[in-house]
Amino acid sequence: MPKELLLQVTPEIAANELLLKDYLSKQIKVASAEIQHVSILKRSIDARQKAIKINLKVLIYLKGEVFQENILQLPDYPNVTNAQEVIVVGAGPAGLFAALQLIELGLKPILIERGKDVRGRRRDLKAINRDHIVDEDSNYCFGEGGAGTYSDGKLYTRSKKRGDVNRILELLVAYGATLDILVDAHPHIGTNKLPKIIEDIREKIKECGGQVLFETRVIDILIKNNEVEGIVTQNGDRILANKLILATGHSARDIFELLDRKKILIEAKPFALGVRAEHPQSLIDSIQYSCDYRGELLPPAPYSIVKQVAGRGMYSFCMCPGGVIAPCATSPGEVVTNGWSPSKRDQVTANSGIVVELKLEDFKPFAKFGALAGMEFQKSIEQKAWHLAGKTQKVPAQKMIDFTQSKVSKEIPKTSYVPGTTSIELGQVFPGFLTQILRQGFTEFGKSMRGYLTNEAILHAPESRTSSPVRIPRDGITLEHLQIKGLYPCGEGAGYAGGIISAAIDGEKCALMVGEALNKKPRIIT
């Protein structure tokens, strides 16, 4: 039977099939010609020592052993044209995977998305970058695929308790993603490749009889006797169903306001906030790989760093090797940053959110807003940054060392942030406690990563949409809202996910609970 091995090899061996076979032949003491095939099951980089190694988990097939290419296929989805309808609000990963799971259960999803389809969004992204025009329904956060589509497509999650990560990855491969996402320790699709995959998921939903409605914003949820009856759109149309999966993402402030206005229970939730730091990718490579030039065999280096500063966590978030910084405002009068990378991660800069954990007590100045206090705190910083930078989509920026020394940078070099920057002392953007922690934290970062603290790095403010400032409480078993029957809060916006994979898993879980409530069980496909 095939032999499984864990090994550590040089980047040259890992990148060359013949060299790898020769290496393995010596390890298992057989002739190289006897090795029929090597399947790489897992791959990661170990850069802790000066001599960088690649960790591999492989399966070795010798001649005579049966090897079959692993071809992942889609589930045998039924046609649900005439099936019972379930409303899914939001076509991000939570909503899309909820819709697919509903179809597997024999239910008809009506998928409602306020933004445009994944291709149509591009014109509005161009408008925010070039013309500083923010479309409140179509931007980097809203539209088919959600925020992940045009903000990197990272597929790893720190939580292994949320559900079946491999199932989501395998479904993505079946819809067109590369097999590498099943192998790499930190899988990543890339902003340039995700749109086609998302289009294919949408077309499958429609092909099976589901409905997908774009440019359709929910303005009301119909409720009678504490039970969902349907929704109302911005055109006044009513769509009726007694099961609603609410997967609107953490930037859908109007939904939080709607729930609050209707006295539907929501809670303020802590989140994290800070800046997005951009370095030359070559500098990050030299720090992480301890070399002047990383060569062709190593990918652009990422980094992950966490410090405790004044009793709070300060950490890197959504790090984008070979990537760019994007304008992610969802309303006029605010600026927001995020980062993304193309699939090749071949841009000359690296960027990462550097954020500080907030506490509920930080929102006390906004206590009059109740459960929306954190959201209003977040909004106030985004609006202040917009004013300070010139009331366009330019963002306040400062060189890193200058920031730690409270010194306005005389000149900000051109960065990857297309709308542009305005030199500002970033202490003006943030509350005093947050500024102090960021300044101290960057100094600590520089001690751990020699060369990281530099004026070659440019800080852009703010990085504020790390997670939802609101939690929509739900039952831990049924996943229904604690107060409203038939309402299933889902994904990042509800406070139950933190990225593409965890959001997709939560979407599936909510769909399964809807199915259970309707006595629909997953089909076992043999």
Asked which of 417, 438, 463 is the last residue of a domain, the reply is 463
Give a yes or no: residue 230 inside a domain. Answer: yes
pLDDT of residue 164: 85
Structure tokens at 82: 């005439």
Distance from chain centroid for Cα 183: 19
135-139: average pLDDT: 96
C-alpha distances in Å from residue 375, one per residue of 250, 471, 489: 10, 11, 18
CB 57 within 8 A of CB 14: no
- Tokens 């539907």 belong to residue: 264
The H-assigned helical ranges of 219-279 are: 253-261
At 180-195, the pLDDT tens digits run 999 998 888 877 888 9
From CA 458, how far away is CA 442, in angstroms rounded? 12
Confidence of residue 526 (pLDDT cuts 50, 70, 90): very low
485 shares a domain with 441:
no
Q: What is the pLDDT of residue 217?
A: 98
Instruction: Name the β-bridge partners of 85.
Output: 108
Q: Is residue 161 scored above 60 in pLDDT?
A: no
> CA–CA separation, 180 vs 202, rounded Å?
23
Residue 413, amino acid: P
Name residue 112's beta-bridge partners: 89, 213
pLDDT in tens, 25-67: 999 999 999 999 999 999 999 998 888 999 999 999 999 999 8
The whole-angstrom separation of Cα 519 and Cα 392 is: 52
Give mean pLDDT, residues 401-426. 98
Per-residue pLDDT at 342 exceeds 60: yes
Range of the domain at 226: 85-265+470-520
Indicate whether 159 and 285 sit together in one domain.
no
H helices then E strands: how many in the chain?
A: 13, 22
pLDDT band at 525, cuts 50/70/90? very low
- The number of beta carbons lying within 10 Å of the beta carbon of residue 211 is 17
CA distance to 80, 491, 495, 521, per residue, from 88 (Å): 15, 12, 17, 19
- Rounded to an integer, what distance in angstroms lies between the CA atom of residue 205 and that of residue 121? 20
**Residues constituting the chain:** 526
Whether residue 397 sits in one domain with residue 492:
no
> Residue 496 domain-assigned?
yes
> Mean per-residue pLDDT for 275-288?
97
SS3 505: helix
Where residue 272 falls among pLDDT bands split at 50, 70, 90?
Answer: very high
Q: 308 with 166, same domain?
A: no
| Non-local CB neighbours of 189 within 8 Å, separated by 6+ positions | 153, 155, 172, 177, 178, 181, 197, 343
**Which pLDDT belongs to residue 159?**
54
CATH number at residue 17: 3.30.70.2700
Mean local confidence (pLDDT), 375-391: 98
Residue 23 and residue 129 in one domain: no
Does pLDDT of 468 surpass 90?
yes
DSSP state of 227: E
Compute φ and ψ for 184, nearest 5 degrees.
-70, 145
Which two tokens mark 519?
């006595």
Residues 112, 197 share a domain: yes
Confidence of residue 523 (pLDDT cuts 50, 70, 90): low
Q: Helix H segments across 208-247? A: none
The answer to whether position 163 is within a domain reads: yes
Q: Report the relative pairing of strands 395-399 and 421-423 from DSSP bridges.
A: parallel
Looking at the chain, the whole-number percentage of residues with pLDDT higher than 70 is 97
Residues 197 and 311 in one domain: no
Token pair in block for residue 361: 């007590």
Measure the CA–CA gap between 139 and 136, rounded to whole angstroms: 7
* Residue 80: inside a domain: no
Give how far Cα 138 sits from Cα of 117, 146, 175, 423, Å: 9, 10, 24, 29
Closest CA to 423 of 377, 465, 379, 455: 455
pLDDT at 472 over 90: yes
Q: What CATH number should be reported for the domain holding residue 150?
A: 3.50.50.60
Pairing of strands 349-357, 312-320: antiparallel
Question: Given this model, what pLDDT does residue 293 score?
Answer: 86
- What predicted TM-score, i.e. pTM, was given to this entire model? 0.94
Q: Are residues 258 and 402 in the same domain?
A: no
The per-residue pLDDT for 69 is 84
- Report the distance separating Cα 95 and Cα 144, nearest Å: 10
Average pLDDT, whole number, for the chain?
94
Tell me the pLDDT band of 1, cut-offs 50, 70 and 90: confident
Please list, in sequence order, all residues whose beta carbon lies within 8 angstroms of the beta carbon of residue 261, skipping any fewer than 6 positions away: none
Task: Specify if 72 maps to a domain.
Answer: no
Instruction: Say which range, 91-100, 165-174, 257-266, has the weakest mean pLDDT.
Output: 165-174
| 440 in the same domain as 367 | yes
pLDDT, tens digit, 9 for 90 and up, residues 304-327: 999 999 999 999 999 999 999 999
Q: Is residue 70 part of a domain?
A: no
The answer to whether residue 415 is domain-embedded is yes
User: Who contacts 165 (Cβ-Cβ below 8 Å, separation ≥6)?
Assistant: 157, 501, 505
Average pLDDT over residues 233-256: 97
Q: What is the mean pLDDT of residues 441-465?
A: 97
On whether both 180 and 31 belong to a single domain, the answer is no
Mean pLDDT along residues 236-248: 98
Please report the pLDDT score of residue 152 as a whole number: 61
Average pLDDT score over residue span 438-467: 97
Which run of H or of E encompasses 115?
Answer: none
Lowest pLDDT segment from 63-77, 213-227, 412-426: 63-77
On whether both 297 and 428 belong to a single domain, the answer is yes
At residue 390's C-alpha, the angle toward residues 387 and 396, to 5°, is: 80
**Claim to verify: residue 111 and residue 246 sit in the same structural domain:** yes
Confirm whether 322 is domain-assigned: yes
Query: Around 464, how many Cα atoms within 13 Å sit in the side-chain half-sphere?
Result: 28
Q: Which residues contact 31 (CB under 8 A, 6 or more apart)?
A: 25
8-24 pLDDT, tens per residue? 999 999 999 999 999 99
Residue predicted with more confidence, 96 or 49: 96
**Count of domains forming the chain:** 3
